[in-house]
Amino acid sequence: MGSVSERELQKRIREMAPLSESAKQLLGLMEDPDHAISDVIAVVEKDGPLIARVLRICNSSALAPPSPIEQLDHAVSYLGERTVVSAAMLQGCDSWLQTDLKGYLTGPGGLWASGLQGAIAARVIAQNGALAVSPSLAYTGALLRDLGKAVLSPFLENRVAGLMARVANGTASDWLAAEREMLGVDHAAVGVRVAGQFQLSPALTAVIEHHHGPAGAAPEVAQLVQIVHVADGISAMTGGAPSADAGFRRISGDDLSKVGLDTDGFAEAIAAAVDEFQQVSDSLY
């Protein structure tokens, strides 16, 4: 089958709605281990639509505060910075975060749901595991890991059954290899190009590039990528966002050992990916 042309890829990437300036700044803050909640508030307070969204979320029926929250600093403290980042990501990006990814057999909102489930799991792993990785950075990395799917999905719409068959019968070694054989490129590589357009940091770009194969990550980001790799597998296991490739992802005992998770920690990450996801998702909408 023919490869996707460079012109087609560039067109699809250019058509993606850009991240807002607030979202870019908040993603940067999540990488700073010395940032404070006041830094988050300082970004949000300059963005009127984001202020309105944050106040609406924290007063939603899903979160049900004891009394209405009307001040931004109280709202950010009540929600937590990671939910604020998620709200900022949604602002202006619904056109591709909520799109129907027919090429991956994923319905509307599936890309966002999978990202959020993985983000929650990654945060729990970073908090409970043995690696010195910021939970906030793990969260944002997992949230963004599959950006490339939004670009590649249209090119797979009439090919996904064949792609699944190639992985299932061993003709292709894994899902990314099958994408490369059919399209000449895979969603991780395309995600790196989207990361460049969005001006994401090297650490987040590395997560997008290597979360299916953490062994390829540079030493300085290896632990972060390994956490997101496991979180990605947990997201596939929970089934909250069905996807054609979900059934082909596995988490090995070695993967869990590398992030310092025992059986209880693994179960906690799974539970959070299911339970906390529902609450956060309901509040965001």
CA distance 76 to 251: 34
List every span in the chain annotated with CATH 1.10.3210.10.
Answer: 6-18+95-284
Residue 236 has pLDDT above 50, yes or no: yes
Whole-structure pTM value: 0.92
The CATH homologous superfamily of the domain defined by 6-18+95-284: Hypothetical protein af1432 (1.10.3210.10)
pLDDT band of residue 189 (cuts 50, 70, 90) is: very high
Q: Among 23-32, 67-76, 270-279, name the one with the lowest average pLDDT.
A: 270-279
Q: What's the pLDDT score for residue 1?
A: 47
Tens-place pLDDT, residues 115-148: 999 999 999 999 987 899 999 999 999 999 999 9
